[in-house]
Structure 1
Amino acid sequence: MSLTYNQLVAMLAVVDSGTFERAASRLHLTQSTITKRIQELEASMGFLVFDRSKRQAILTPQGEQFVSQARETVASFDNLASFTSEGRAIATLVRLGVTELSSLTWLPRFLEASFAAGPDVQFELTIDMSRNLHSSLETGELDLIVVPEMPFQSNAHVQPIADVEITLIGKPGLVPSGKILEISDLQDFNFITQGRTSGFSKSISEWFANYGINTRHSVRVDSLHAMVGLAVAGRGLCITPREYLVPLINSGRVTELLTRPRLPLLKYCVVHYPSPHEALFSRVASDIRRAVDFKKPYFT
C-alpha cells in the first residue's frame, strides 16, 4: 500500500485540530473516512502516528518526527499544483473573517493594496460577529480571523494587532457637557448592544459586572451603524469604538459620556491555526498587522 497526499492532509488536519472529529469537519469528510486514511497511512509507514490510548490525538515519538516532514511534502505539492501551463502561479484562496468594524475601516484599503502588490492571493470574505467567526475558524470554514481577544485553543497562532479605544455615546443633551459619570451612575440607563454572538458585547458586560452593574439591554442589534442611530434617537447608550465616531462626536450629533474609570481598551488580534499553508497564512497575518488602522473610516 502506497502513501498518498490525501492521507498526509488527513493526518495534518488531525494534528492541527486536535481530534479526528474536528479534522473531519475541517476537511468536509466523515470521521470514518479520516480514520481509514490514518490507518492506511500507518500501515504504509509501518508505525503508529497517533497514541490511541489518549482521548485526544497525541502523536507518538515517531509520529512527531514524521509530521514535520509531512508538512514540507504537502506544502511542496501545493506549490507545484498551483502553477499553470504558462508557469504562472494560480492565486491561492484565503478565507478571511472579520467583524463589521474592520469592514468599515482598514479592510477595503488592505484588499486594494494586496491586489495591487500581486494577485497571487484571493480573499473570500466573511463579515460576522466575533464568536461566529471563531467557531468557523475552529471547524476549518475560515483560514484567518481578525477579532477582539478571546480564549483560543492552545495551538492557535495569535498576533495582537491593535488596541481600540471604546466609549459610550447617547442622545445630545443626555448629560451635562463635560460631566464625568461614575460607573455606578450608569445603572439606570438602557444599553444598545450587539447580539449574543458578539465577543465584544460579552466582554464589556463582564467588565461592567465587575463593578456591580447589570447592563439592561433595551435593544440588541448586529449593526454598528444601527446601534449609533438608535442611540441618537434616544433608545439607550451605545458602547462603540471611539475614534471611528470622532467626526460625529465633534459635530455634536451625538454626546460622548465620559466615565470614571474609563472603559477598557478593545484588543484586536489576527488568528489562525496550524495548517499546511502555514507560511502563507503567517505572511497574510503579518500584512494585516501592518495595514490595520481602526481610526480612519474608509468612506470619509
Structure 2
Amino acid sequence: MAQFNFKHVQAFVTVADLGNFRRAAERLNTTQPNISNRISQLEHQLGDRLFDRDAGSVLLTRKGAALLPHGRAILRAVDDMVQANGRADLFDGVLRLGVSELVAQTWLRPFLMRFKEAFPAVDVELTVDLSANLTRALAERDLDLTFQSGPFDIAARRELPLGQSPYVWVVAAGQPGLPDPLTARDLAAQPILTHARGTAPFLQLEQHFRDAGCPARLVPSSNIAACLHLAMDGLGLACLPAAMVADPIAAGRLRRIDYGWTPEDLAFAARWNNDPTPPYIRTAADIAQGLFPPEG
C-alpha cells in the first residue's frame, strides 16, 4: 500500500489551487522546503510527476489534473469524518475573512462571537475593504471567505445570498429644515456624502443628478463610517445604508429626508472558492445568513 499520508495529499491540493509552493507553505503554516518534500515524496510513491515546475509558475501535469479530484475527495472525507464525530473543536487553523465596511459597522461582532462558539480552535484573520478589492483577493486565494456586496466582476465557486440593504437619505437632526417636497436641485445644492468614487452607489448618484440636469456636489469616501460622522456633524447630507444610520436616527443625531429616489439596494453574499469546502467556512456563511438583514 502507498505510504503517502494526509499531509501529502493536503500539500498536493493546496499547491494545485494556489499555483505556488511558497503560498501553499504559508497557507499550511509550514515551510516551502516541507511542501516541496511532501510533493516529491507523493510523486515518488505514485511513480509520476504531478506538477511541471519552472521559474515563474507551477502547473499540473496531465496526471496531476487526473488525480486532483481524488485528492479533493480525500480531504472532503476527512472533514466529513471529523464533522460526523460532532467535535467541531478538532478543526483548527485560520479563516481568512474579508468583509465590506457595512458588515464591519453592523453585524460583524455578533458573527465573530457565534463563529468562535462553533469553532473555538479556528482563528479569524480579518480584512475590511472595498467590495471590489475583496473580489480580487478572493479570486487570488488571499481570502477564504468574503461577506460583500455586488455586483461581482469575478465569479466565485460558491455563493450564498445573504440579503439586501436599502439606502436612506439623512441629515443632522439640528440642521435647518429643507424644502418640502424636496427636489433633485435642492439636494444637489448641498454636499452629498457617500461611497468611494467608482463604486456602484456613487455612479448611480452621479447619473441620477446628471439626468435631473443638476450635477451634484458629491463627496466620496472609501470610509463610509467617516461619511456617517460628517453627516452627524452637519457637514453635508448623506445617502447611506439604512443599517448604518438606524442607531444615530434613534439617538436623535440624524433624521431621515424624504426623497423619492435612492441608489439600488446593496445585495450581499457570502462567497468562497475552497474545494473541498471546510465545514467551518460553510458554517460561517450560514451564521452570516442568519444575522442578515441587520437591524435597521
TM score, norm. by length of structure 1 = 0.70
Aligned with 2:281: secondary structure?
helix
Give the equivalent residue in structure 1 for 2:149: 148
Mapping of residues 104-183 of structure 1, within 5 Å? 104-116=105-117, 118-120=118-120, 122-131=122-131, 132-151=133-152, 153-171=154-172, 172-173=175-176, 175-177=178-180, 179-182=181-184
Structure 2 counterpart of 1:269 = 269
Residue 292 of structure 1 is matched in structure 2 by 292
Q: Equivalents in 2 of 1:167, 1:138: separation in Å?
A: 32
Q: Deviations over 1:78-101 (max 9, x none)?
A: 78999xxxx994352423232343
Name stretches of at least 5 consecutive residues in structure 1 with no aligned partner: none
Q: Deviation of residue 158 (structure 1)?
A: 1.5
Aligned to 1:28: 26
| Matches of 1:168 and 1:95, distance apart in 2 | 34
Aligned to 1:254: 254
Instruction: Name the SS of the counterpart of 1:28 in structure 2.
Output: helix
CA contact 1:160–1:270 (8 Å) conserved in 2: yes
Structure-2 change in CA distance of 1:122 and 1:51 (3 Å): closer
Inter-CA distance 10–212: structure 2 relative to 1 (3 Å threshold): farther
Cα deviation for residue 270 of structure 1 reads: 0.8
- Residue 211 of structure 1 aligns to a residue whose secondary structure is helix
Instruction: Check whether the contact 1:166–1:239 (CA below 8 A) recurs between aligned residues.
Output: yes
- Maintained 8 Å contact 2:230/2:236: yes
Q: Is 1:206 the equivalent of 2:203?
A: yes
How many Å separate the matches in 1 of 2:49 and 2:162? Answer: 40
Q: 1:212 to 1:293 in 2, by over 3 A?
A: closer
**Distance in 2 (alpha carbons) for counterparts of 1:108 and 1:276:** 27
CA distance in 2, matches of 1:2, 1:215: 68
Distance 1:221 1:24, change over 3 A: same
Deviation at 1:262, TM superposition (A): 2.9
Q: Secondary structure at the match of 2:295?
A: coil
TM-score normalised by length of structure 2: 0.70
Measure the CA separation in 1 of the matches of 2:88 and 2:238.
50
CA distance in 2, matches of 1:189, 1:254: 16
Distance 1:81 1:242, change over 3 A: closer
Alpha carbons 1:16, 1:155 under 8 Å: kept: no
Query: What letter corresponds to residue 70 of structure 2 in structure 1?
Result: Q
- Percent sequence identity is 20
Matched, 1:66 2:63: no
Over 3 Å counting, the alpha-carbon distance change for 1:105 and 1:46 in structure 2 is: same
Alignment partner, residue 90 of structure 2? 90
> CA, structure 1 residues 101+67, in 2 after alignment: closer, same or farther (shift >3 Å)?
same
Over 3 Å counting, the alpha-carbon distance change for 1:76 and 1:212 in structure 2 is same
Q: Is the 8 A contact 1:168 1:258 kept in 2?
A: yes
Q: Does 1:222 align with 2:223?
A: yes
Contact 1:50 1:57 in 2 (8 A): yes
Gaps of 5+ in 2: none
CA drift at 1:211 = 3.4
SS in 2 for 1:191: strand
Distance 2:14 2:152 in 1: 21
One-letter identity of the residue aligned with 2:124: E
RMSD: 4.2
